[in-house]
Amino acid sequence: MLEVQGINKSFGGLHAVSDASLFVPAGKVVSLIGPNGAGKTTLFALISGFLRPDSGTVIFDGTDITGKAPHLICQMGLVRTFQVVKPFASLTVRENIAVGAHTRIADRKAALAKADGVALLVGMDAMLEQSAGDLTIAGRKRLELARALATEPKLLLLDEVMAGLNATEIAELVPVIRTIRDTGVTILLIEHVMQAVMSLSDYTYVLNQGVMIAEGEPKTVTSSPDVIEAYLGHGAAERLAKMEARDA
Amino acid sequence: MSERARLSGWTIILLTLALLPLYLHSARWIDFLEMTLFVAVLGQGWNILGGYGGQYSFGNALLFGTGAYIQALLQFKFGISPWIAMWFAIAGVVAVGAMVGFLSFRYGLRGSYFALITLAFAEAFLVLSRSLKSITEGGSGVQLALNQDPAQAIATFQFNFAGPFLKEYGFYYTIFTILLVTYAITWWMERSRFGAQLVAVRENEDAALALGINTFKVKLGAICLSSAITASCGVYYVQKFLFIEPGIAFGPSKSVEALFAPIIGGLGTVVGPLLGSVFIHGVGEATKMTIGQALGGRPGVDLILFGTILILVLAFLPRGLVGLVEAVWKRLSGGRDA
Amino acid sequence: MELLGFSLPSYGWSTIFGSTISGVFLGSIYALVAVGLTLIYGVLHIINFAHGALLMLAMYAVYFLWNILGIDPYLAMLIVVPGGFAFGYGLQRFIIGKASHGKDEITLLVTLGVAIVIENMALFFFSATERSVRVPYDLDGIDLGVTYAVYPELAALVGSFLITLALWAFMTRTDTGKAIRAVSKERQGAQLVGINVDHIFAVTFGIGVACVAAAASLLVPTYAVHPQIGSLFVLIAFTVVVLGGMGSFVGALVGGFLIGVTEQLGRLYLGESLGVITISVIFIFVLLFRPTGLFGVKAG
Ligand SMILES: Nc1ncnc2c1ncn2[C@@H]1O[C@H](COP(=O)(O)OP(=O)(O)O)[C@@H](O)[C@H]1O
Ligand SMILES: [Mg+2]
């Protein structure tokens, strides 16, 4: 579905993404993890056309989309959400989702009807008339997801849709994402909430300081010493191992 | 407000506008209504791009003036029928608007920068219309020949010497028709995919892009529609006054009039520009009738008033008079119908 | 010279040089008006449409001080500069800042509203009549060979440098200046370290108006005062600010001279009325292709 090959991006002197590659097979949920500032959001921007890579290629569904305009990439079926949510604040939830639906549907009534359907799927059917500006953080994150879903994507890039949510809200959202996958949408998600990463993803990539440092099954990857060091600092894996040995 | 309440509201407004002049019988009041509707149309031209699209133009005089000049010069220089000239005027203004839009949006000018560039283009056209005498007749302007033959009234689009009804009401129903057409287009736009995408661009351009909207094309479409509507004001003005000169055409006053009405009435709503125009003209007229005498008919009073209203609305009514009316309506209907 | 079917007249060097010199004098006036505007933009990030109207108001103040009290226009600076500061401070603190809810587009509209109100108040109270101040020395001057420069022109030239220098010194040497610069760079950060941002905004706006009041003193001996005088300058001032780079004092000074000289050469070659098109053309090209201007840091 998606193949990123040796992609690079620097801002001035800072190498935000260095020679990163990843592969997302159709029908799967793949996650991308890594500490803050690792370059995950930048990688999403490179894939979705918001940033132009310095080098490297992005192949989506067999087509080279490197450097294409974001709206064209979306029309091809690859849509992203924003970590810093961007609701259409003065519109209602229904109108927000309908904007996404209009990407495939010209008719206004049909787009609004589609919005109702998508809202039901993500559990926002009770908030349809509410103004997007009045939503809570959890509501906004869901709206971000709903709008993207309404464009009928083949591949959905989710950037930290669980961040800022409490345990109950996370527990509600996990099955929603699973349902979306079951309808045949491939998903690539950036997530810090490990519980969600573990329970949702089939495969995991780890990015640290712009470099892919590990990949594999979520369980294996998260217990690898390199990954633990990336998250917790130098020497952390060793200390953790010692602690476990002592506890045992 | 529900769609049904809106439709009944519009029926009442439009019936009133259609019948009111027949009962007034006063040239002065009909003139007043004509100017009110004229600014309501001019304001809708601004509202499409500014209110719905969030791109604030400070130079809509560019569009008005270009339309007026094309309408005037085609008749003056080539004797072309006003009924044919008007299509060239609209097409010409759309071309100018599209050019400004293409340049501004291609180079990513937003916010204050877009305001400045529209202002700069209007100023450039003001200078050109003053100096290119061989094309525009220069600073003295273009004066069209007055038709005194009643039989030619319709052919010349001049009602000054027409039969009894046309003479009195011809221009009123002309601007009323223009208002009907432009407001119907706006009403349709608001309920279309294009309208939804335009509003999305206003609310958040990045999110719009991510959701597959070609924001450049949408903004360009909006400026073209805006141009066509504003051009019709230029055509109307020339036919009514048979005269145009650089200051009236491209000077700042038309740019300012165009944005007053929708901001005061309610940005990004169909009725906003009409409501705003009725309000400011009503207040202006009321002032003239009450304290005007005491002030000795000195110039400036109405603009002091309009400027103050503008600031007050910006400060206290972010959604304009429409927001106020909706709040009152909600109160009256007990909050059932939001 | 032949250009696109237009034939441009050819002049001797002394005529061109003379036009350039008068362009420099004109440019110093543009720079004077623009320097306050660029300060306000640099800190508040707002384009102050009322700038021209405030210039006009200050010019009326200078005129009446001379007309009623017999105060020399240059001496009047001692009154109108503090007066301008106080007026500007109040205007930003209690009207513009309050009405615009911190949104750039709204601020633009509010300043437009303020401009319309001030301009029409002047029209209402003072009528459209042009009023001129005649100082006894207004025709004295020095002969520069190619052109004759009167003292008011020289005063404006020197004044533009002094005001720019004074502003620069104020911004780099005083605590208030440093606070202003902190706010212009990091609005939220400044708030966190306890700087009262609303106050700093109003102070900045006040200084901007004080600059325009100083400009008014320097302009009155050569320009007649009428309600429209501000709008004649405001578009040019925008051009100067954009060309120099929004927020840059040096840019305003250099931009002012560039525009002044371009305008005068434009008039020489294209004629009195078409000559000013050069200003709009520069404005449009800079906005499109180099919105950061000559000395600007980043586009807003
Ligand atoms: N537009 C930009 N300009 C400059 N630096 C940027 C830009 N976007 C991101 N960065 C920098 O790139 C690095 C990676 O950021 P980001 O991709 O947001 O990380 P993550 O999403 O993994 O937390 C950070 O150091 C960030 O400051
Ligand atoms: Mg991120």
Structural domain of residue C155, as residue ranges?
A: 34-238
How far, in whole angstroms, is CA B316 from its chain's centroid? Answer: 24
Does C78 fall in a domain?
yes
Is residue A77 within 8 A of residue A61, CB to CB? The reply is yes
In the predicted structure, residue A18 carries a pLDDT above the cut 80: yes
In the predicted structure, residue B337 carries a pLDDT above the cut 90: no
| pLDDT for C300 | 37
Does C228 fall in a domain?
yes
Instruction: Just give the CATH number of A2-247.
Output: 3.40.50.300
**Residue B97 carries which side chain, given as an amino acid letter?**
G
The residue extents of the domains of chain A are 2-247
Contact C112 B256 (CB under 8 A): yes
Residue B320 dihedral angles phi and psi, to the nearest 5°: 70, -165
Is residue C22 within 8 A of residue C267, CB to CB? The reply is no
Contact C47 B115 (CB under 8 A): yes
Confidence of residue C178 (pLDDT cuts 50, 70, 90): confident
Is residue C49 within 8 A of residue C112, CB to CB? The reply is yes
> Nearest C-alpha of chain B: how many angstroms from C117?
5
Residue nearest to atom 5 of ligand 1 (CA): A11
- Chain C residues in contact with B307 (beta carbon < 8 A): 113-117, 120
From residue B104, alpha-carbon distances to B212, C152, C241 in Å are 21, 40, 19
| pLDDT for A241 | 66
Model confidence pLDDT, tens digit, residues C242-279: 898 888 888 888 999 899 888 888 888 888 888 888 88
Q: E strands along chain C, which residues?
A: 2-3, 6-7, 141-143, 148-150
Return the HEC string of chain B. Answer: CCHHHHHHHHHHHHHHHHHHHHHHCCHHHHHHHHHHHHHHHHHHHHHHHHHHCCCCCCCCHHHHHHHHHHHHHHHHHHCCCHHHHHHHHHHHHHHHHHHHHHHHHHCCCCHHHHHHHHHHHHHHHHHHHHHCHHHHCHHHCEECCCCCCHHHCCCCCCCCCCCHHHHHHHHHHHHHHHHHHHHHHHHHHHCCHHHHHHHHHHHCHHHHHHCCCCHHHHHHHHHHHHHHHHHHHHHHHHHHHCEECHHHHHCHHHHHHHHHHHHHHCCCCCCHHHHHHHHHHHHHHHHHHHCCCCCCCCCCHHHHHHHHHHHHHHHHCCCHHHHHHHHHHHHHCCCCCC
Of B80-94, B99-113, B202-216, B284-298, minimum mean pLDDT range: B284-298
Contact C238 B311 (CB under 8 A): no
Is residue B197 within 8 A of residue A99, CB to CB? The reply is yes
Residue nearest to atom 24 of ligand 1 (CA): A37
- Give the CA-trace dihedral at A157, A162, A163, A166, to 10 degrees: 170
State which residue of chain C sits closest to B312, comparing Cα positions: C99
| pLDDT for A248 | 56
In the predicted structure, residue C34 carries a pLDDT above the cut 60: yes
| pLDDT for C1 | 44
| pLDDT for B336 | 56
Percent of chain B with pLDDT over 90: 67
B 201-230 near A (Cβ less than 8 A): 203-204, 206-215
**Residue C137 carries which side chain, given as an amino acid letter?**
Y
Chains A and C touch (3+ CB pairs under 8 A): no
Q: C128: buried, middle or exposed (CB in 10 Å: 19+, 13-18, 0-12)? A: exposed
| pLDDT for B67 | 97
- Angle between helical axes of B164-190 and B27-47 (0-180°, round to 10): 20
Does C232 fall in a domain?
yes
| pLDDT for C11 | 78
Pocket residue to mutate for ligand 1, from A33, A42, A43, most atoms within 8 A of Cβ: A42
In the predicted structure, residue A240 carries a pLDDT above the cut 70: no
The residue extents of the domains of chain B are 9-251
State which residue of chain A sits closest to B268, comparing Cα positions: A90
Model confidence pLDDT, tens digit, residues B209-260: 999 999 999 999 999 999 999 999 999 999 999 999 999 999 999 999 999 9
Q: B13: buried, middle or exposed (CB in 10 Å: 19+, 13-18, 0-12)? A: middle
Percent of chain C with pLDDT over 70: 95
Does C122 fall in a domain?
yes
Is residue A140 within 8 A of residue A83, CB to CB? The reply is no
Of A234-238, C14-18, C30-34, minimum mean pLDDT range: A234-238
Residue nearest to atom 12 of ligand 1 (CA): A16
B117 close contact with C: CB closer than 8 A? yes
Query: How many angstroms separate the CA atoms of B305 and A50, rounded?
Result: 46
Higher local confidence (pLDDT), A147 or A220: A147
Mean of pLDDT over chain B: 91
| pLDDT for B136 | 86
C126 close contact with B: CB closer than 8 A? no
Q: How confident is the model over A235-245, as a mean pLDDT?
A: 65
Does C253 fall in a domain?
no
Q: Which CATH class is domain B9-251?
A: mainly alpha
Contact B210 A148 (CB under 8 A): yes
Is residue C247 within 8 A of residue C297, CB to CB? The reply is yes
Contact B207 A88 (CB under 8 A): yes
The secondary structure of residue C144, as a DSSP letter, is: -
> In chain A, which residues touch B (CB < 8 A)?
48, 50, 69-71, 74-75, 79-82, 86-91, 95, 98-100, 102-103, 105-108, 111, 129, 147-148, 151
Find the A22 Cα to ligand 2 centroid distance in Å.
Answer: 17
Q: How confident is the model over B255-270, as a mean pLDDT?
A: 94
Q: How confident is the model over C222-250, as a mean pLDDT?
A: 88
Q: How confident is the model over B266-295, as a mean pLDDT?
A: 89
Find the B303 Cα to ligand 1 centroid distance in Å.
Answer: 50
B162 token code pair: 């027409």
In the predicted structure, residue C120 carries a pLDDT above the cut 90: yes
Is residue C289 within 8 A of residue C48, CB to CB? The reply is no
| pLDDT for B133 | 86
| pLDDT for A236 | 62
Pocket residue to mutate for ligand 1, from A7, A10, A11, most atoms within 8 A of Cβ: A11
Find the A44 Cα to ligand 1 centroid distance in Å.
Answer: 11
Residue nearest to atom 8 of ligand 1 (CA): A42
Does C1 fall in a domain?
no
At C293 the three-state DSSP class reads: coil
Query: How many angstroms separate the CA atoms of B86 and B333, rounded?
Result: 45
Neighbours of A38 (CB within 10 A): 24
- Chain A residues in contact with B191 (beta carbon < 8 A): 108
Provide the number of structural domains found in chain C.
1
| pLDDT for A160 | 92
Residue nearest to atom 1 of ligand 1 (CA): A11
**Residue A37 carries which side chain, given as an amino acid letter?**
G
Chains touching A (at least 3 CB pairs under 8 A) are: B
Query: How many angstroms separate the CA atoms of A230 and B159, rounded?
Result: 82
The secondary structure of residue C225, as a DSSP letter, is: B
Is the pTM higher than 0.95?
no
C3 token code pair: 């250009």
Q: How confident is the model over B313-334, as a mean pLDDT?
A: 88
Find the A208 Cα to ligand 2 centroid distance in Å.
Answer: 12
- Chain C residues in contact with B138 (beta carbon < 8 A): 273
DSSP structure string for chain A: -EEEEEEEEEETTEEEEEEEEEEE-TT-EEEEE--TTSSHHHHHHHHTTSS--SEEEEEETTEE-TT--HHHHHHHTEEE--SS----TTSBHHHHHHHHHTTT---HHHHHHHHHHHHHHHT-GGGTTSBGGG--HHHHHHHHHHHHHHT--SEEEEESTTTT--HHHHHHHHHHHHHHHHTT-EEEEE---HHHHHHH-SEEEEEETTEEEEEE-HHHHHTSHHHHHHHH-TTHHHHHHHHHHHH-
Residues near ligand 1 (Cβ within 6 A)? A 11, 14, 16, 34, 36-42
